């Protein structure tokens, strides 16, 4: 008789443990097993209680960490956006083409050239040549620290494309280091007009300009004198 | 379709010593070959000293057309006429350079006015010789 009672009691307690465990599994961490009697099962009940405590603590901890991580991630994403925006700005800012004189355009290049930048630079210059109708353009690379094969290739392409449009393109400001690299790389820049400084290039461009207009004036003048004769 | 292609011709206008060709339709290979012989025949017939080819409305030039243009320049040079290609668009220039067609023997000008000036200057040099 008493055995049956003990058995019933134990069954009840085990059911209680099951209930608690299932509600913990469902997410309710506030429930605990209430131990009424001290016996063999009490140890198990206490152990489960301790486990639940530990679990609660760990969950809290991991939630906190996740929040921190998310915060950091959003911060990093913001920073990434800023970097991308600044890169775009830099690309836009880094290739200004300005008309400095009748018929003369200048494109000062500052900083390292990569193929993307060189491409944008080339497109800008060609578009500006077409828009303004200037036939002389100066590509000043004083501010470019080093040149590799790709960049030299891009410079060549720019000059050739400008020629195809019907405009002359001079490269100025080739530093000793760049001259050395270009020759060592075996790139032939002899087809391109190069000048030591921007000043030299300007002088050359203006002389050529003058020649063009003077030539015209002279021929006009000639035809007039021929007529009077 | 074939008959259409043969009938479609690009007009060649002669002004003084120059021929002016304005390409205003998309070039396909047949039309290009036809234009080439058409221009050369016209040079022979009129004794023109210069040819101005305006490609300002061409959005795209493929390697065939590019080769045709540079080939025509050398052919015309043998016939004592200078070819100037006028008004090339930046995108076209970039494409040609990427294709490796740098057209070394061909003269180019930004617009028709500059092209005519160029040819006139050349002609005056020619006359003084």
Q: How many CA atoms lie within 13 A of A104 on its CB side?
A: 22
CB contact under 8 A, A157 and B90: no
Closest approach of chain A CAs to the CA of B31, in angstroms?
22
Strand B12-15 to B18-22 pairing:
antiparallel
CB contact under 8 A, A219 and B88: no
DSSP B124: H
Q: Which chain B positions have a beta carbon within 8 Å of A216's beta carbon?
A: 117, 121
Superfamily of domain covering A98-228: STAS domain (3.30.750.24)
Per-residue pLDDT of chain A (229 residues; tens, 9 = 90+): 577 887 888 888 888 888 888 888 888 777 777 777 777 778 888 888 888 889 889 999 999 999 999 999 999 999 999 999 888 877 776 678 888 888 899 999 888 878 788 888 888 899 999 999 898 999 998 888 888 888 888 888 899 899 999 898 999 988 888 888 888 888 777 878 888 889 989 999 998 888 776 655 554 444 444 444 4
Angle at A201 (CA atoms; ends A197, A206), nearest 5 degrees: 145
Closest approach of chain A CAs to the CA of B46, in angstroms?
25
**Confidence at residue B28, expressed as pLDDT on a 0 to 100 scale:** 83
Mean pLDDT across B44-60: 89
With CA atoms as reference, report the closest residue to A152 among A126, A124, A180: A180
pTM, 2 dp: 0.65
User: Could you tell me the domains of chain B?
Assistant: 2-128 (3.30.750.24)
Q: Which chain B positions have a beta carbon within 8 Å of A165's beta carbon?
A: 88, 90, 93, 108, 110
Closest approach of chain A CAs to the CA of B29, in angstroms?
21
Angle at A38 (CA atoms; ends A34, A39), nearest 5 degrees: 115
Nearest residue of chain A to residue B125 (CA atoms)? A219
Q: Can you tell me the distance from the alpha carbon of A79 to that of A68, in angstroms, rounded to the nearest whole number?
A: 17
Select the residue of A133, A161, A216 nearest B93 (Cβ to Cβ): A161
Q: Which chain B positions have a beta carbon within 8 Å of A122's beta carbon?
A: 94
CB contact under 8 A, A165 and B121: no
Hey, where are the domains in chain A? 2-90, 98-228
């Amino acid at each position: 008789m008493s055995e049956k009672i003990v058995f019933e009691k134990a069954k009840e307690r085990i059911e209680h443990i099951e209930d608690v465990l299932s509600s913990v599994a469902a997410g309710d961490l506030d429930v605990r097993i209430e131990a009424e009697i001290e016996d063999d099962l009490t140890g198990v009940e206490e152990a489960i209680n301790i486990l639940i405590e530990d679990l609660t603590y760990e969950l809290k901890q991991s939630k906190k960490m996740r929040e921190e991580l998310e915060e950091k991630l959003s911060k990093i994403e913001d920073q990434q956006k800023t970097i991308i925006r600044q890169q775009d700005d830099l690309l836009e800012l880094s290739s200004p083409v300005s008309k400095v004189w009748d018929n003369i355009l200048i494109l000062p290049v500052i900083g390292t050239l990569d193929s993307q930048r060189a491409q944008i630079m080339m497109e800008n210059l060609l578009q500006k040549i077409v828009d303004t109708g200037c036939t002389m353009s100066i590509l000043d690379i004083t501010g470019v620290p080093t040149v590799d094969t790709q960049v030299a290739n891009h410079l060549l392409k720019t000059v050739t494309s400008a020629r195809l449009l019907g405009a002359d393109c001079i490269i100025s400001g080739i530093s000793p280091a760049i001259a050395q690299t270009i020759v060592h790389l075996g790139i032939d820049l002899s087809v391109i007009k190069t000048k030591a400084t921007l000043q030299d290039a300007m002088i050359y461009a203006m002389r050529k300009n003058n020649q063009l207009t003077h030539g015209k004036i002279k021929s006009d003048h000639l035809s007039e004198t021929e007529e009077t004769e | 379709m074939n008959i259409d292609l043969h009938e479609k011709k690009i007009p060649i206008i002669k002004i003084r010593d120059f021929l002016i060709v304005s390409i205003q339709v998309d070039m396909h290979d047949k039309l290009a070959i036809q234009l080439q012989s058409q221009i050369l025949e016209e040079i022979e017939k009129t004794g023109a000293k210069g040819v101005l080819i305006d490609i300002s409305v061409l959005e795209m030039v493929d390697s065939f057309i590019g080769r045709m243009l540079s080939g025509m320049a050398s052919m015309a040079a043998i016939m004592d006429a200078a070819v100037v290609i006028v008004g090339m668009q930046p995108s076209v220039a970039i494409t040609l350079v990427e294709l490796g067609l740098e057209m070394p023997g061909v003269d180019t000008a930004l617009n028709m006015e500059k092209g005519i000036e160029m040819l006139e200057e050349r002609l005056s040099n020619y006359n003084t010789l």
